[in-house]
Amino acid sequence: MEATHTIKRTCLACGQEGAIRVSRREAAFGLVDIHQILGKQCPNCGANTFSTVQTLVNLDETLLKEWATNEDLHLTPQDEELLLADELYLNLILLALDHFSVVDQKRNILLEALCIIVYDNSLKDNSHKDEALKQRVIKALNERKAQLKLADDWIMDYIKEVVYPQLTLG
Ligand SMILES: [Zn+2]
């Protein structure tokens, strides 16, 4: 696969920079360890603490399907549920929940991501609240109560406290 994405690291001791190129898939799933390639120690000063940055991968249906149906693949560089809790991925998440053979743990993460969208758009101090988006996700959750129930133990209590009262769980 074409190496289209860059991962960079900067030595925290001397500032020396290094970079590698990886494919989109390798970047999305964090499959390549930059320190394995460039060495555990800075070639300039020998220190072994670095900051790393990589370009965010926009997930498409192929990548999300592969992730959702394989319990060994993990999205990087953020917490998976936070990365997915984005309007950008709403349609893909619903597609996955309804049409892919999603493994249990990934289903939990997808449901949590939906709850986080509702949570974020319920916070009083969020000045970018999107009520229409929130209502879309609430409707989607109401339509997938059985899946939400299965994810119940996984979803954080502080999220549930804000989100569940807004649903019609009955
Ligand atoms: Zn260094």
The mean pLDDT of the chain is 95
Nearest to 98 by CA among 60, 61, 59: 61
Does 77 share its domain with 135?
A: yes
Whether residue 81 sits in one domain with residue 50: no
Regarding whether 73 and 46 lie in a shared domain, the answer is no
Average pLDDT on 143-159 reads 96
Classify residue 58 by its DSSP letter.
P
Answer yes or no: do 67 and 95 share one domain: yes
Structure tokens at 38: 């460039």
On whether both 48 and 72 belong to a single domain, the answer is: no
**14, 29, 54 - which closes a domain:** 54
Structure confidence by residue, pLDDT tens digits, 29-61: 999 999 999 999 999 999 999 999 988 899 999
> How close is the Cα of 25 to the center of ligand 1, in Å?
29
Is the pTM here over 0.85, yes or no?
Answer: yes
Percent of the chain with pLDDT over 90: 89
Q: If you measure from the C-alpha of residue 20 to the centroid of ligand 1, how many angstroms do you get, rounded to a whole number? A: 17
Confidence of residue 107 (pLDDT cuts 50, 70, 90): very high
Bridge partners, residue 51, by sequence: 10
Q: What total of structural domains would you count in the chain?
A: 2
153 in the same domain as 78 = yes
pLDDT for the residue 77: 76
- Structure tokens of 94? 């619903």
Q: What are phi and psi of 24, to 5 degrees?
A: -55, -45
- Checking if the pLDDT of 104 tops 90, the result is yes
Distance (angstroms) between ligand 1 centre and the Cα of 41 equals: 8
Do 49 and 74 reside in the same domain of the chain? no
My answer on whether 143 and 72 are in the same domain is yes
Going from the Cα of 140 to the center of ligand 1, the distance in angstroms, rounded, reads 49
The alpha carbon of 43 and the centre of ligand 1 are apart by a number of angstroms equal to 7
**Domain span at residue 28?**
5-54
